[in-house]
Amino acid sequence: MFQNRAEALALALPAALFAAAVFLVPVVILLSDGFRSPVGGWTISAYTDFFSNTLNQTVFLRTLKLGALVTVVSAVIGYAAAFAIVNLEPGAKGRMTGLVVLPLMISPVARTYAWIVILGRTGIVNQAFQALGLTEAPLRILFSETAIFIGLLQLFLPLMIISLISALENMPKDAIPAARVLGANWFQVFWKVVLPLTKEGLVIGGTLVFTGCLTAYITPAILGGSKVLMLETLLYQQVSVSNNFVSASVIAFILIVMSFAANILLKRVATARNKMRSQP
Amino acid sequence: MNARSLFIPVTLFLVIAFLIGPFLIIVAASFSAGETLAFPPQGFSLRWIAKVFTVESFQASFAMSLFLAIGGTAAALVLGIPASYALSRYKLPGAEIVRTVVSAPIIVPGIIVGLALLRYIVVPFQVGITLALFVAHTALVLPYAVRVVSASLDNLRSDIEEAAVLLGSSRLGAFFRVVMPNIRGGIMSAFILGFVTSFNQVPVSLFLSGPGVRTLPVDMIAYMEIVFDPSVAALSSLLAFLSIGIVFAAERFLGFSRYV
């Protein structure tokens, strides 16, 4: 540890001032706009206006609903996948983890675009459904909540799987056999042994997936179109179509509050885990 | 085979198919000979791959994205390396505040960063679009640069540079001759992570793109809303292989995953 404070400040300040100037200050001003009254002073009327509009309510609830749904489904699939992967031979485990991580390297635009080919009117799903005689006319799957749900799940599932793999690997190896020997069935093993021991991994994965869904723009923009909006696409529309900056500020505030809350939760869990580890 | 021994292969097959399958379909669709985007592809040709290189807006936006990814990441490292050094080696007053401020752009959704910059920096100060995008991408990459470089500094024993100083080297000399060679892998990893993040970034650039100045992913979204041919699929495949190649090379030569 060097003690020279002036030197330390000289090294750290350029980055901090840059981030403050181009990021922190503009964002704080943007957020304060939603609380400013047109006649001077402060008010929350922009918020009551925002939430009294039915379209806004629908979009707000849809964003929460899709975020929660994607998080829960990715947790269920994530446990199955992570459990399968940690039980592989070391070499195969590495390759499988690589395949799970691989999509994260690919541009989200490319990944979302693929679903147009799959879910579109002449897409694979409709071709298959028609060939099987399940439907006569092509189904309209694109530009719906279902399409956004599928796109978000595919985008964020890797984050959940990775979090759960490391949680399962840190679990004592004999916990499951011990519970089995003592007569627990598989449901009890999961509920009473695996889940409590991997809770942190689940919270970390869940936070990453949920905030990812809240703040995803590309997926709802491409797969939801201009009708099925989420908060991010609504914000874009408010600015670029309606020029409604007050409403944009309200949405920005909602998004930031939700993602900060999730990140504080994440930090709590991470520090709790570090404390546990540092105990002898 | 009983039900339990089937569980692992079946689960893995389904999950990997869901995660990787759509990408393979995009790759297949980009070799189609047909006029519209379709799967299975109609015939085989390289015409859409070739077309990607002739679309003028793609050329311009590719150059812009490349410039932002390289320049923005380099700028973020120039700001981020000294800050990481101060955070890891000095008793810095307000260290937590500095850490929070430089890593905040990662927590706040990109679309908000873009809008805030547009309204309160770009418009009032008449900043050009290219400069605005450059600044935005630098701020976006900064948290990654600080995190990765800090991690590799924390893995390096600090007594070697104290020894260098004790033996008569200046603090600066000790940094460049002792510390830098030892964190080169971390810096390269930060560069690659920043490059990929910046290159794939859409929401930050959305509001800052102006007439004729766009990043490649924003341009691709605009293009696919108008034209329904396989050229976006072809471009997506090319970009995907490019970023997978970069990350693989990084892992092979630098042990990328140690830092990220």
Question: Which positions 214-243 of A are in contact with B (Cβ < 8 Å)?
Answer: 214-215, 217-218, 221-222, 232, 235-236, 239-240
> Cβ of A109 and B236 within 8 Å?
yes
Give the pLDDT confidence score for residue A273 in this predicted structure: 62
Give the pLDDT confidence score for residue B260 in this predicted structure: 58
> Cβ of A248 and B115 within 8 Å?
yes
Give the pLDDT confidence score for residue B253 in this predicted structure: 73
Q: Is residue B45 part of a domain?
A: no
- Residues for chain B: how many in total? 260
The 10s digit of each residue's pLDDT in B205-218 is: 988 887 778 999 99
Q: Is residue B83 part of a domain?
A: yes
Number of domains forming the structure of chain B? 1
Of B102-106, B186-190, B251-255, which range is least confident?
Answer: B251-255
CB-neighbour burial class of residue A249 (10 A; exposed 0-12, middle 13-18, buried 19+): buried
Query: Hey, CA dihedral for A167, A168, A169, A175, is it positive or negative?
Result: positive
> Cβ of B203 and A81 within 8 Å?
no
Number of residue pairs across A and B with CB atoms under 8 Å? 244
CB-neighbour burial class of residue A109 (10 A; exposed 0-12, middle 13-18, buried 19+): buried
* Chain A residues close to B205, C-beta within 8 Å: none
Q: State whether residue A12 sits within 8 Å of chain B by CB.
A: yes
* pLDDT of A277 over the 60 cut: no
The 10s digit of each residue's pLDDT in A162-171 is: 999 989 998 8
Residue in A4, A26, A157 nearest the CB of B121: A26
Q: Is residue B24 part of a domain?
A: no
The CA distances from residue A163 to A174, A203, B53, B190, in Å, are 21, 9, 39, 21
Higher pLDDT, B257 or B240: B240
What is the domain extent for residue B72? 55-258
Q: Looking at CA atoms only, how far is residue A52 from chain B in angstroms?
A: 23
Give the pLDDT confidence score for residue B4 in this predicted structure: 67
Q: What is the CATH number of the domain that holds B70?
A: 1.10.3720.10
- Mean pLDDT, chain A, as a whole number? 89
The 10s digit of each residue's pLDDT in B32-50 is: 877 777 777 777 888 888 8
Among the residues of A108-198, which ranges form H helices?
108-119, 124-131, 145-169, 175-181, 186-188, 195-197
* pLDDT of B16 over the 50 cut: yes
Rounded to an integer, the average pLDDT of B43-60 is 86
Rounded to an integer, the average pLDDT of A97-114 is 87
Q: Is residue B36 part of a domain?
A: no
Q: Cα–Cα distance between A263 and B149 in angstroms, integer?
A: 22
Adjacent-strand bridge partners of A2? B90
Domains parsed from chain A with CATH numbers: 54-278 (1.10.3720.10)
Q: Is residue B3 part of a domain?
A: no
The 10s digit of each residue's pLDDT in A115-139 is: 988 888 878 888 888 888 887 778 8
**Under 8 Å between Cβ of A246 and A46:** yes
Higher pLDDT, A3 or A26: A26
Give the pLDDT confidence score for residue B226 in this predicted structure: 83
Name residues whose C-beta falls within 8 Å of residue B226's C-beta, 6 or more positions apart in sequence.
none
Rounded to an integer, the average pLDDT of A41-54 is 92
- The ipTM estimated for the assembled molecules is 0.86
The 10s digit of each residue's pLDDT in A215-238 is: 899 999 999 988 899 999 999 999
Q: Cα–Cα distance between B49 and B27 in angstroms, integer?
A: 10
Q: Is residue B141 part of a domain?
A: yes
Q: Looking at CA atoms only, how far is residue B241 from chain A in angstroms?
A: 8
* Helix (H/G/I), strand (E/B), else coil: B213: strand
* Chain B residues close to A222, C-beta within 8 Å: 221, 224
* pLDDT of A37 over the 90 cut: no
Band of pLDDT at residue A274, cut at 50, 70 and 90: low
* pLDDT of B156 over the 90 cut: no
Give the pLDDT confidence score for residue A280 in this predicted structure: 42
Query: Hey, CA dihedral for A122, A134, A73, A162, is it positive or negative?
Result: negative
Q: Cα–Cα distance between B46 and B33 in angstroms, integer?
A: 8
Q: Is residue B32 part of a domain?
A: no
Other C-beta atoms lying within 10 Å of the C-beta of residue A26 = 22
Rounded to an integer, the average pLDDT of B6-29 is 90
Q: Which of A64-78, B89-103, B236-250 has the highest mean pLDDT?
A: A64-78
- Mean pLDDT, chain B, as a whole number? 87
Report the residue of B4, B6, B25, B90 to disrupt the A interface, i.e. the one with the largest count of A CBs within 10 Å. Answer: B90
Q: State whether residue A123 sits within 8 Å of chain B by CB.
A: yes
* Chain A residues close to B15, C-beta within 8 Å: 77, 80-81, 84, 100, 157, 161
Q: Is residue B219 part of a domain?
A: yes
